[in-house]
């Protein structure tokens, strides 16, 4: 059976704001401490990665990622960024629990099996 998982996308005024891609980027930044390394890990160019980091920083009341120059540079996910990560993952887990039965039905349908409704 195919793996099926639920992801969230948060929109503001009909504009996508935060979803699994930006969350994965924040997680990679937290792991690597580097914008370029996080981008490479996700198969993105440095420019694309930097633009996403900048857009994330613009979304919130203060930066979710800070950068250092000199001495090798680097990037740090801020306390706010870590809180955003935790909250998103919590919401995602709660939504998955709430939708578990329907997700199982959907998985069976994707596998071509019939399910009782």
In contact, 88 and 19? CB cutoff 8 Å: no
Q: Where are the domains of the chain?
A: 9-110
Tokens of 70: 């000199």
71 Rama sector, left if φ>0, alpha if ψ -120 to 50, beta otherwise = left
pLDDT of residue 65: 97
Confidence of residue 16 (pLDDT cuts 50, 70, 90): confident
- Furthest-apart CA pair in the chain: how many Å? 62
Q: Topology of domain 9-110, per CATH?
A: Arc Repressor Mutant, subunit A (1.10.10)
Q: Is the pLDDT of residue 113 over 60?
A: no
The confidence score (pLDDT) of residue 81 equals 97
């Amino acid at each position: 059976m195919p793996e099926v998982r639920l992801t969230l996308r948060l929109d503001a005024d009909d504009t996508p704001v935060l979803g699994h891609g930006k969350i994965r980027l924040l997680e990679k930044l937290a792991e690597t401490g580097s914008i370029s390394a996080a981008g490479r890990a996700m198969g993105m160019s440095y420019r694309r990665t930097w633009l996403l980091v900048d857009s994330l920083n613009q979304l919130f009341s203060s930066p979710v990622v800070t950068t250092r120059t000199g001495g090798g540079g680097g990037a740090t996910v801020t306390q706010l960024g870590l809180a955003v990560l935790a909250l998103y993952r919590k919401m995602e887990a709660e939504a998955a629990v709430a939708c578990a039965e329907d997700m199982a039905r959907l998985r069976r349908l994707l596998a071509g099996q019939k399910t009782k409704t």
